[in-house]
Structure 1
Amino acid sequence: MKTFKMQCKTEIIRVLRNRYFVFWSLLMPIIFYYVFTNLVNADVPNKAEWQAHYLMSMTVFSVMGSSMMTLGIRMVQERSQGWSTFIRTTPLSDTVYFAAQMVGQSVIHALSITIIFIAGALINGVSLKAFEWIMSGLWILLASLPFLAIGTLIGLMKKVETAAGISNVLYMVLAVSGGLWMPLDVMPKIMQTIGKWLPSYNFGSGAWEIVRGGMPDWKNILILIAYLVLFMLLSKYIRRKQEAV
């Protein structure tokens, strides 16, 4: 247990020292939030509701990117530098090592959620009930698991450049088509139909429902669980194939 705690602490420190994480997962979502709620859509009806809705979108956007890119690219870097091979020569087991990465990333997510929530309250005076703040934060934290699984898939790639390119494209495509940058209602019908089955939409939808006074739909939960299982099985299969080679 002591080894696990130390490894978790190490992973957290490594992420916080990563300028890429600070820029893309903290600064960019806050900048986007300010721009889309004060400059681009400053005169929308039900402004307070829109500001709370978009705060959830940008928080989901932040955590989704951190899960896929920060974790995935770091895993590729470790493999390319021989760090993963070195770990196998130490008493630290693979299970503890990967579990510590997941836990450390989740702690970082909790920090990101808190910072962006505070930014929303300061920038636009977003005011939610304590229950809504807590439940939306917990939802975003737990529902990020399928994206952590995507991060492990990206982490199986051989080159950092390939992982960075694919993760960036996938990140932006999921964000836009999942309704995080703009509501699905303004998109073409076919995009709406596809978008509602994407993990990004169901991730955001749960948080949107909470700030509207409801709770995540069971469809959101089941779709995210299905994606989590799919990505975990795929990651396990690919890792076994690589080890066999």
Structure 2
Amino acid sequence: MRSLLYQININFKRIILRNKRFFFFDVIMPIFFYVLYSKVFVGNASPAFLKVWQTDYLISMIIYGCLLGSTITVSNTLLEDQTSHFDILSRLTPLPRWKYYLSRVLIFLLLNLIAAVGICITGVLVNNLSLPIQSWTLIILATLVGTLPLIFIGILISLASSPATVNLLNNLVTFPLAIVSGLWMPLNAMPKWLQTIGKLTPTFELSNIDKAILNSKAIDNSSVMGIILWFVVLCVGTLLVIKYQRHRELNFA
């Protein structure tokens, strides 16, 4: 247990305290967009509609911030570990590999927690949003659990092992995923075929869960199963890619 806490402490300092890009891309940027589209670009919307919009868009930006952290931050962090050979150094320590990966996942979840809490505080301070503490807590907890599949997307992207390829994949996955799942614009404003694709994404499923908690409604079991299915598929996919890469390394050795 002590060795795991030591690893978490090291990664906390490396990945969070010394990572200025995290605070800009995963925290400041979603907050900026939230304030812009919920406070500035609101037109002549009625107070009742505006309050609903500000709350719904808060959920979208919470998920968007976690999406940025789970894909771009995760993939770039793991890629930097590969290029700096930090991952090789970690293999030489007596710490079991499962503890190494667990410490990373916990740190990435903490990144998402900071982003989610930051956006929630912005909603309270800027738009005077008022929700019971229980609702805020459940939304944040559900979001953290729901971002596990997104973290594995970031891990998969990092396995490309090339900075150019990783950046390309981040752009091809992250921003289209945010758009097609309805985080940036209402899903019903898109073509039918795009709506069908969007409803299959993990970010859409997570949005459904968070908005159900927000509106004190029953959580759709299909959304929960969708998150679980994405998590299982991405876990298996990650293990298969890692196994394939190791097999290639042995063949070329």
Q: How many residues align?
A: 245
Q: CA RMSD in A?
A: 1.4
Quick check: 1:26–1:116 contact (8 Å CA) kept in 2? yes
Ranges in structure 1 where 5+ consecutive residues have no aligned partner: none
**Residues 215/15 of structure 1: CA separation in 2 closer, same or farther (3 Å cut):** farther
1:39 aligns with 2:40: yes
Counterpart residue number, 1:5: 5
Counterpart residue number, 1:60: 63
- Which has the larger displacement, 96-105 or 204-213? 204-213
1:42 positional shift: 4.2
CA distance in 1, matches of 2:70, 2:184: 18
Deviation sequence 1:8-53 (CA, Å, 0-9, x none): 1222222222122111100100000011112323433521111111
Quick check: 1:36–1:42 contact (8 Å CA) kept in 2? no
- Which has the larger displacement, 98-107 or 189-198? 189-198
Amino acid of the structure 1 residue aligned with 2:32? I
Quick check: 2:15–2:77 contact (8 Å CA) kept in 1? no
Counterpart residue number, 2:24: 23
Amino acid of the structure 1 residue aligned with 2:73? T
Counterpart residue number, 2:217: 214
- Which has the larger displacement, 157-166 or 57-66? 157-166
1:194 aligns with 2:229: no
1:213 positional shift: 1.9
Taking the TM superposition and a 5 Å limit, the aligned residue runs for 1:59-208 are 59-208=62-211
Give aligned-pair identity as a percent: 27
TM, length-normalised to structure 2: 0.92
1:91 positional shift: 1.2
CA distance in 1, matches of 2:15, 2:100: 15
Quick check: 1:4–1:96 contact (8 Å CA) kept in 2? yes
CA distance in 1, matches of 2:23, 2:83: 23
CA distance in 1, matches of 2:29, 2:201: 23
Amino acid of the structure 1 residue aligned with 2:80? Q
CA distance in 2, matches of 1:38, 1:175: 21
CA distance in 1, matches of 2:76, 2:23: 15
Deviation sequence 1:66-109 (CA, Å, 0-9, x none): 01111111111111222212221221222111110001111222
CA distance in 2, matches of 1:35, 1:41: 9
Quick check: 1:136–1:207 contact (8 Å CA) kept in 2? yes
TM, length-normalised to structure 1: 0.95
Ranges in structure 2 where 5+ consecutive residues have no aligned partner: 249-253
